Amino acid sequence: MKIGVITYPGTLDDRDAQRAIRLAGGTPVPLWHADDDLKKVDAVVLPGGFSYGDYLRCGAIAAQAPATKEVIKLAAQGLPVLGICNGFQILVESHLFRSYALKITTPPGPACLKKMKRF
Amino acid sequence: MPKIIVEIMPKQDLLDPQGKAVANALQRSGNKEISAVRIGKRIELHFDRPITDQDMENASAQASSFLSNDVIEDVVAITKED
């Protein structure tokens, strides 16, 4: 099974993701953010790190990348996509979870923060 | 220099943890009269020519789709400065 791993400027864990795919018996396919060719992979992993230094909002600039646009398009057709940490933030900024985000009245993040001690 | 200024704030009904931490720090340092702090951002789009209505429309579209995230933020102002 060919599984693509996208590398953005500032991605840190692409090599780890590729290794994990290899150990799980898959074939990792390195993908480049500026390239809109996802090389016919069966699934895509957006690994963690700090794409574009978390500038503007975490994942916001990476969400505009040609490779991400292609992920959005193919996800709508059923392509499995895994976002880890900053990779998940890129998916959120790609509005792939839009309907879900608008539905929740108490966002999980701030609710958890309320339980924590104040800074 | 002609510029378009986009101002973005976290939504009113959303907790702004950054603002809260800063408010607490201000109160600890004696600013008891400051009851709350909210932190947003100001983005300047610079131009080397006069700004047109088309530029304002474009800035408005970019402000709501890319410069801000409308799930958690509001664009509170888009102004032109010559």
Q: Which structural domain, as residue segments, surrounds residue B12?
A: 3-81
Q: What's the complex ipTM?
A: 0.79
Q: Is A97 exposed, middle or buried (0-12, 13-18, 19+ CB in 10 A)?
A: middle
Q: Are A118 and B24 in contact (CB < 8 Å)? A: yes
CATH label of the domain that carries residue B27: 3.30.1280.10
Query: Could you say which of B24, B67, B69 has the minimum Cβ distance to residue A119?
Result: B24
Domain layout of chain A by residue ranges: 2-115
Q: What is the CATH number of domain A2-115?
A: 3.40.50.880
Q: What is the pLDDT of residues B43-72, one digit of tens each?
A: 999 999 999 999 999 999 999 999 998 888
Q: What is the dihedral of CA B55, B60, B65, B67, to 10 degrees?
A: 80
What pTM value is reported for the model? 0.81
Task: Say which of A56, A60, A113 has its CB closest to residue B17.
Answer: A113
Q: What is the pLDDT of residues A16-44, one digit of tens each?
A: 999 999 999 999 999 999 999 999 999 99
pLDDT band at residue A99, thresholds of 50, 70 and 90?
low
Chain A positions in Cβ-Cβ contact with residue B17 (cut-off 8 Å): 110, 113, 119
Confidence at A98, pLDDT banded by 50, 70, 90:
low
Which residues of B are less than 8 Å from A114 in CB distance? 15
Chain A residues touching B36 at Cβ < 8 A: none
Partners of A56 on chain B (C-beta within 8 Å) are 66-67
Quick check: helix, strand or coil at residue A103? helix
CB contact under 8 A, A118 and B71: no
Give the C-alpha separation, B19 to B38, whole Å.
4
Within an 8 Å CB–CB cutoff, is residue A56 touching chain B?
A: yes
Residue A78 phi/psi, 5-degree rounding, is 105, 5
Domain count, chain B: 1
Question: Residue length, chain B?
Answer: 82
